[in-house]
Amino acid sequence: MKFLDLAKVYIRSGSGGGGCISFRREKFIEYGGPDGGDGGRGGDVWVEVVDGLNTLIDFRYQQHFFANNGQSGMGSQRTGKDGDDVILRVPVGTEILEEDGETVIADLTELGQRLRIAKGGNGGFGNLHFKSSTNQAPRRANSGQEGVERTIWLRLKLIADAGLLGLPNAGKSTFLAATSNARPKIADYPFTTLHPNLGVVGVDGAEFVIADIPGLIEGAHEGVGLGVRFLGHVERCAVLLHLIDGTSGDPVGDYKTIIGELEAYGGELANKARVTVLNKIDALDAEEREFLKDEVEAATGTSIMLMSGVTGEGVTDVLRALRAKIIEMRAAEAALGMEAEPWQP
């Protein structure tokens, strides 16, 4: 299934049915009186979070969603049938945005959430509604209320416990493949990963979800490479796992490049808890490992872990550090009264 995380959708709720002008006619009743019924209500447009979806690919093939109009009222005091609602089924983590693509209408983060984004029009009153002691034969009825037509954007932000960050070829996909059943594309050229991948990893009997996004390069916030389009997928993560290529020749520069792009992206992403790892140590001898570790720690003021995603060296320690950070951050979120539920190992 192709991954799609952004979709433009056109919606319209149903218009209400018109009221009816009708008079009762019976053989032995001299004055029948009005009996026109009201029009039915137009259908609503809903967004519902359902299980089993992890992409917005369905909205590539259908972008227009129109609810049914209400039926007009009829004689014999019969009210018109209400229009059927239409439901947009989306995965967990979907944001609903206005047409400008920036104003957030709602953020749907829980399974089963429903939101009405376009209300159907009310049905018009029939002439029976206007009957009174001074107007016993009204010849007027209301038209139904018009439906609501609007354009919205759906944007998916994957919900994961930890997110992978790094330059292209830093070993993110290799790490995900080595620690989970996910099978991302792995090759020895940049930008192998073209869309986010999710993997469930386990350590010490506990499981958590890791999101791998396409690599960032310098100038990504200006659209260079694949830009920062996919950074939204790690916004919801409790912890970021920052992988640095130990064979790149300039690990300090690589670290600063990623941090600079996070700061340019804005929001709270640059301030999220991070576990920083020097990867590909299988290609380094013991002296080179210690030298690079000390160099990066001195330049960044950050504690650095060592790991090789290929051989598995240090991977378990990194997963344990991630798990501890996730538990810590989820507990902090719960203490602050945030909507995120505490992570359960």
To the question of whether residue 293 is assigned a binding role by annotation, the answer is no
In the prediction, which pLDDT does 116 show?
A: 94
Closest among 113, 309, 105, 325 to 237, alpha carbons compared: 325
The whole-angstrom distance between residue 23's C-alpha and the CA centroid of its chain comes to: 54
Q: How far apart are CA 244 and CA 238, in angstroms?
A: 20
To the question of whether residue 45 is assigned a binding role by annotation, the answer is no
Regarding predicted confidence, which is higher, 141 or 195? Answer: 141
Per-residue pLDDT tens over the stretch 221-260: 455 555 566 777 777 888 888 888 888 888 888 888 888 8
Q: How far apart are CA 168 and CA 146, in angstroms?
A: 52
Q: Which domains does the chain have, with CATH numbers?
A: 1-156 (2.70.210.12), 162-335 (3.40.50.300)
40, 16 Cβ separation under 8 angstroms: yes
Q: How far apart are CA 303 and CA 297, in angstroms?
A: 6
Q: How far apart are CA 125 and CA 127, in angstroms?
A: 7
Q: How far apart are CA 193 and CA 270, in angstroms?
A: 22
To the question of whether residue 124 is assigned a binding role by annotation, the answer is no
To the question of whether residue 154 is assigned a binding role by annotation, the answer is no
CA distances from 192 to 212, 218, 234 (A): 12, 17, 19
Strand spans (E) along the chain: 6-12, 45-49, 64-66, 86-90, 94-97, 104-108, 114-118, 149-156, 162-165, 197-203, 206-212, 239-245, 273-279, 304-306
14, 121 Cβ separation under 8 angstroms: yes
Query: What pLDDT band is residue 189 in, cutting at 50, 70 and 90?
Result: very low
To the question of whether residue 170 is assigned a binding role by annotation, the answer is yes
To the question of whether residue 38 is assigned a binding role by annotation, the answer is no
To the question of whether residue 8 is assigned a binding role by annotation, the answer is no
Per-residue pLDDT tens over the stretch 302-342: 888 888 888 888 888 888 888 888 888 878 777 765 454 44
Strand partners, 7: 154
Two tokens, residue 261 = 């792009």
To the question of whether residue 309 is assigned a binding role by annotation, the answer is yes
To the question of whether residue 281 is assigned a binding role by annotation, the answer is yes
